[in-house]
């Protein structure tokens, strides 16, 4: 019998060639999300369309490496539902070690008992250090004060590393368990990211101005009236960032400095990036309030902005035109050549997503990983 035509049957579900390497996965937990295989053959990309597994039964999935595929000497891999927030975990919710095989052909059978959900659970010993910079951090540009927090990597005090920094708005809703509408749980998400060695980052969280929040995050004249956003941006770039860089071990260049937020916090983050591209090279924009019809002047004179990365997120169940607004903004940025390479803008759309902290929480670690720690960059 010609070995190239030799096949075997798997529970009468499919016909599998023996001459190529086939990974067969069995899992008890079933949902509609596709399963991907990620490993040292694709830089551990978790949502690579070339490595989506084929469902061959209610509990069975298959990935067949193409004929002639150059496999590593030892193949290392894991299974995910599309990102590290939904990676495989053990029966007791523990991290599983990388899987491995030295087979070059035939069948490798695997079993996944459970999947991580929304980046949880987390291990407390990986939680970031939460530092209150001040109860009344001075904002001279607005003649006021504000609470400002820093979330440092859990082992910050035992290393001499320097870290990238992300400045986030609306600190009240980022890690406060008592937040009225829930919170992003960024402390827990950072703990899981640290456990998985995805990357470590300093988060600087600025509380909003309560009743003056909209005015402070509004830039120029919009349907909301005249805002104070320009002065707030000056606070971030001329007062807060120099303070943070002086007191913490940060990577100060634009490539390692980001800004982000949601809703009106997303809007002020857009303007911060457009007005100060020499400061912010990474923008994390969730559900921005583009409905206020801001005058977005994208006229960048700063050189070397080609490493700018923008992560845009919108939910389909937020408003009638949220997704449309975000898509139009993306096209304007591309057409302006603010971002020269279209791959530097990641547009993430959840058609079921609502305008709530729950959905921004799920998106947060995905955005941080893509902006700062993408293995293909």
Convert the pLDDT of each residue in 317-362 to its tens digit.
Answer: 888 788 888 888 888 777 776 666 655 888 888 888 889 998 899 8
Q: What is the mean pLDDT of residues 105-116?
A: 93
CA dihedral sign of residues 232, 360, 317, 281: positive
- Say what the pLDDT of residue 28 is: 84
Global pTM value = 0.78
Q: Could you say which DSSP state residue 200 is in?
A: -
pLDDT above 60: residue 14: no
- Say what the pLDDT of residue 325 is: 82
**Percentage, residues of the chain above pLDDT 90:** 55
CATH number of 3-115: 2.60.40.10
Query: Is CATH 3.40.50.1820 correct for 124-372?
Result: yes
Cα angle, residue 180 at apex, residues 177 and 184 outer, rounded to 5°: 50
Residue 114, class by beta-carbon neighbours within 10 Å (0-12 exposed, 13-18 middle, 19+ buried)? middle
- 252 three-class SS: coil
Whether 46 contacts 82, CB under 8 Å: yes
Nearest to 257 by CA among 308, 302, 182: 308
CA dihedral sign of residues 121, 123, 129, 135: positive
pLDDT above 90: residue 36: yes
The rounded mean pLDDT for the chain is 87
Which residues of the chain are in CATH 2.60.40.10 domains? 3-115
Q: What is the mean pLDDT of residues 297-315?
A: 74
pLDDT above 90: residue 207: yes
**Percentage, residues of the chain above pLDDT 70:** 89
Residue 255, class by beta-carbon neighbours within 10 Å (0-12 exposed, 13-18 middle, 19+ buried)? middle
Confidence of residue 45 (pLDDT cuts 50, 70, 90): confident
Q: For residue 267, report the phi and psi dihedrals to the nearest 5 degrees.
A: -65, -45
């Amino acid at each position: 019998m010609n070995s190239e035509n030799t096949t075997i049957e798997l529970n009468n579900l499919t016909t599998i060639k023996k001459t190529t390497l086939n990974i067969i996965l069995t899992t008890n937990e079933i949902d509609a999300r596709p399963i991907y295989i990620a490993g040292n053959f694709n830089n551990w990309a978790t949502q690579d369309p070339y490595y989506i597994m084929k469902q061959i039964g209610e509990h069975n999935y298959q990935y067949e490496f193409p004929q002639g595929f150059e496999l590593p000497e030892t193949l290392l891999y894991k299974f995910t539902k599309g990102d590290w927030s939904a990676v495989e975990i053990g029966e007791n919710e523990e991290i599983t070690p990388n899987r491995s095989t030295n087979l070059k052909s035939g069948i490798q059978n695997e079993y996944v008992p459970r999947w991580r959900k929304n980046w949880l659970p987390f291990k407390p010993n990986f939680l970031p250090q939460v530092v209150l910079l001040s109860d009344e951090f001075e904002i001279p540009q607005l003649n006021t004060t504000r609470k400002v927090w820093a979330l440092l990597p859990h082992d910050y005090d035992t290393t001499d590393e320097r870290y990238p920094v992300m400045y986030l708005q609306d600190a009240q809703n980022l890690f406060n368990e008592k937040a009225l509408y829930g919170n992003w749980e960024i402390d827990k998400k950072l703990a899981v990211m640290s456990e998985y060695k995805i990357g470590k980052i300093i988060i600087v969280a600025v509380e909003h101005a309560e009743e003056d929040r909209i005015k402070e995050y509004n830039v120029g004249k919009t349907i909301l009236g005249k805002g104070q956003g320009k002065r707030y941006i000056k606070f971030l770039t001329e007062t807060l960032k120099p303070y943070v860089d002086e007191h913490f071990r940060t990577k100060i260049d634009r490539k390692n400095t980001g800004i982000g937020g949601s809703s009106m916090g997303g809007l002020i983050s857009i303007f911060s990036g457009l007005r100060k591209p020499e400061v912010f090279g990474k923008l994390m924009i969730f559900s921005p309030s583009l409905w206020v019809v801001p005058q977005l002047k994208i006229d960048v004179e700063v050189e070397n902005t080609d490493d700018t990365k923008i992560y845009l997120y919108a939910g389909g169940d937020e408003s009638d035109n949220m997704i449309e607004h975000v898509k139009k903004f993306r096209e304007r940025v591309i057409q302006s050549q603010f971002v020269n390479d279209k791959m530097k803008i990641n547009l993430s759309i959840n058609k079921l997503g609502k305008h709530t902290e729950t959905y921004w929480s799920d998106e947060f670690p995905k955005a941080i990983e893509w902006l700062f720690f993408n293995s293909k960059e």
